[in-house]
């Protein structure tokens, strides 16, 4: 059974994951409108992955006797000056999500809820991978600079990046 404190913290993370999905969906739309088909496909996949992260939390909350809440989401930024700015926002957002997961893990330790702590370890690992991927993409963008040919190749190459560890909503690991 979840404590009210942990249930509230998990529901806060449900909202963050939902907003993450919306952020990446907005980025996909922007990239698609700019003719960056590879970037758009990558962002659509990222959006789907974040939605699955949200659903995994929802299922866990409900399975542990809590009540998952689906709340209103903050509208994402829908316009970017450059694709580099967009990927910098992606990187910054992943750092924010990591901090939120870390806070959640801390609460589970304070509450001595080791089942939820164990469940969250998947998210901890996932965030390490997400941050590393975002940093690697920014490094490539910095190498490209203002080279239009480089941007073309980057757009084509990013389609090859496989979104990892996508889970089904019923597979909570619990």
Annotated binding-site positions for Fe cation? 17, 50, 53, 94, 127
**Quick one: tokens of 50?**
């974040």
Classify 73 as helix, strand or coil: coil
Residue in the structure block whose two tokens are 């979840």: 2
Quote the CA–CA distance of 44 and 42 in Å, as a whole number: 6
What distances in angstroms separate CA 59 from CA 47, 81, 93, one per listed residue? 19, 38, 24
**Quick one: tokens of 169?**
């909503």
**Quick one: tokens of 94?**
């992943």
- Which residues contribute to the annotated binding site? 17, 50, 53, 94, 127
């Amino acid at each position: 059974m979840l404590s009210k404190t942990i249930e509230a913290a998990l529901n806060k993370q449900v909202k963050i994951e939902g907003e993450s999905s919306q952020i990446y969906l907005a980025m996909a739309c922007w990239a698609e409108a700019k003719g960056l088909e590879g970037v758009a496909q990558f962002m659509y996949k990222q959006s789907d992955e974040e939605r699955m992260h949200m659903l995994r939390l929802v299922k866990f909350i409900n399975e542990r006797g809590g009540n998952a809440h689906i709340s209103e989401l903050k509208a994402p930024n829908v316009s970017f000056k450059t694709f580099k700015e967009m990927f910098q926002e992606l990187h910054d957002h992943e750092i924010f999500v990591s901090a939120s997961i870390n806070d959640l893990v801390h609460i589970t330790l304070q509450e001595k809820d080791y089942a939820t702590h164990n469940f969250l370890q998947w998210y901890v690992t996932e965030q390490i991978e997400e941050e590393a991927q975002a940093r690697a993409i920014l490094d490539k963008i910095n190498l490209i600079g203002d080279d239009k040919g480089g941007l073309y190749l980057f757009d084509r190459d990013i389609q090859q990046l496989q979104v990892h560890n996508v889970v089904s909503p019923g597979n909570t690991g619990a």
